[in-house]
Structure 1
């Protein structure tokens, strides 16, 4: 870990890091989530019946994982995982120096919420915005209540709010570079903390904290249960941090590999297998009792002749556009093959007569 050698270059207590260090630690966590998302997607595509729920609830599972990891590092290192990896710590934003390594209760919980909950809400809002754009592009008008219309208007205003936020972040970082501001990110200012480099004393304090945790053998059952839960969470966090520390280069390589410039090669390597034909295709020629089979022009969902036909690119099956759009939006998978699917995987089919 980088904090082990922090004292070799940092002698002043509370020394402010450079802009390159704070941006590097931000890019580390930004590389972790896309890599994990791709790994979950590969699992879901290889075995939809067993791992599809991981893909459907990826944001919530990642939030839980992030909460455990960040809470461990904030409690023991007074920093997030990426900040600790780069030899940084969080300290109160006041001018005075802290007594020791650690964050007070209010600063700890503010930091945890802003580190985990804000990115989760932003990701969910951006996903909703993408679905709203799909509805606008394909002129889908589903019935909406007044609350849903207000929500739609709020989502439509999100791009302007996001642009304004990016301007605020840029100005904050510019002030940080010129030494006017002590924080490079408005979220740190909201948490009322700032970043500083770790010192040799901080490293010794972290080692003492790790070795000084005992088992409360004497205590109430509730206290023992809470201790066991904390130890389990700490074990998970330590394992995750060790794995992530060893795989930082690999994660950043994955981020580059699956960037937009390499998507052509990636799609060729990770193309989905051909799905098995559904039962309705097996009896198109009619049953042994002389009854005619299903109409090949019918929609597998509504069982009527297809209207405004569309193909789901993840499986290749054709449906009514409205039927498959509504189903995929609600279930995030193909109704026949079970492959994970999104509304943007729909392709409209135009007949020569149209």
Structure 2
């Protein structure tokens, strides 16, 4: 059928790509879909945002929590270190991957047939993770994101400092005189070696920050480009590695089977029983240690549920405050105000005629009708202009008015 198409090869490629993408969406076999891998990769950032938001809300009532927020990167790195180490030890998968029923497997490639023959084929076998791969996985999951966040914060500070310097000038140029002269105008000469060492350290620190600010955009762009390339290749089923880190470690992420889930639960129970048997000391100390271990195991067991609840709570509060802000910023449509009461005719004023089309001043049909804005009554333009110019008031209500309060009416427009 494709031979009769004008662009048969292009059509075949499009169909193959579409079939591969549909296979990725369907999620058949042990290979995770692209969306499962993307969700597992984005979960730590969502978890961090949820925890930061919750601590920020609590810090409004408990100011000491601000100290935790000052060391946000370190606290989150410590939390992820505990979670990732425990998850890799018990389930052979990261914390986010274990939530989606995924496991990490080492890749071993075997060549079938003659190595130099044209019929040689490669067979991929998956085995359990080695201790070295688990340690390196912790490095890629915890240490590298922590360093990336610190580099990003340094880059932002340097960029803000450069922006302020371009607008207001350098701090040394603005306040340098106050640092080198005393109150009498005499120069201050420092003879201590500690000040010189501090200045050298500060100068070295500034140079390192400038180097980081200059190199970080290129490093970040290269990292994002490689991540996009690996994700695109994984989506098109051109590679089994979702990221550069997994490729460097030689690890595939696979779906966990029912037997593997049962094995992991039995492995966890064996590890915990072995740790309880290692307890040493008097009976009361063993009881305290067992209680602490039980509490730690309970926290680790319910950490997944608690963190998922935290993410859900964060998303709910974000939606709630966003909808509240939209309601506050949305323009309110008020009903039109009621019409003002009709003007009252003064005792010494000119009475209104019964026919509303007549001018109260000349008692003739209005010519070039004009209204006096202070009272809302309509007269002939020439009549009301002469009266207001002479008496500075409305002829009927006697309210103060000037010729600027006269407005022409155009009925035919």
**Same fold by TM (over 0.5)?**
yes
1:265 equivalent to 2:325? Answer yes
The within-5 A match list for 1:172-321 is 172-212=230-270, 213-214=272-273, 215-217=275-277, 233-253=296-316, 262=322, 265=325
Shift of 1:238: 2.1
1:30 equivalent to 2:45? Answer yes
Q: Which moved more, 1:74-83 or 1:203-212?
A: 203-212
Cα distance 1:153–1:229, how it changes in 2: closer, same or farther (>3 A)? farther
3-state SS of 1:90 partner:
strand
Maintained 8 Å contact 2:107/2:125: no
1:78 equivalent to 2:92? Answer yes
Shift of 1:11: 8.4
Residue 125 (structure 2) aligns with? 97
Cα distance 1:37–1:247, how it changes in 2: closer, same or farther (>3 A)? closer
Q: How many residue pairs get matched?
A: 250
Maintained 8 Å contact 1:71/1:112: yes
Residue 281 (structure 1) aligns with? none
Residue 302 (structure 1) aligns with? none
Structure 1 alignment gaps of length 5 or more: 1-8, 269-354
1:164 equivalent to 2:222? Answer yes
Residue 41 (structure 1) aligns with? 56
Residue among 129, 144, 164 paired with 1:138: 164
Higher RCO (CA < 8 A, seq sep 6+): 1
Cα distance 1:220–1:191, how it changes in 2: closer, same or farther (>3 A)? farther
1:66 equivalent to 2:80? Answer yes
Cα distance 1:217–1:199, how it changes in 2: closer, same or farther (>3 A)? closer
Bigger-Rg structure (1/2): 2
Maintained 8 Å contact 2:155/2:212: no
Cα-to-partner distance string for 1:249-270 (whole Å, 9 max, x where unaligned): 3344456678xxx49939x9xx
Structure 2 alignment gaps of length 5 or more: 1-25, 110-123, 173-198, 329-413
3-state SS of 2:125 partner:
coil
Shift of 1:166: 0.8
1:153 equivalent to 2:215? Answer no
Cα distance 1:253–1:29, how it changes in 2: closer, same or farther (>3 A)? farther
Cα distance 1:249–1:40, how it changes in 2: closer, same or farther (>3 A)? closer
After TM superposition, the score normalised by the length of structure 1 is 0.62
After TM superposition, the score normalised by the length of structure 2 is 0.54
CA-atom RMSD in angstroms: 3.2
1:117 equivalent to 2:169? Answer no
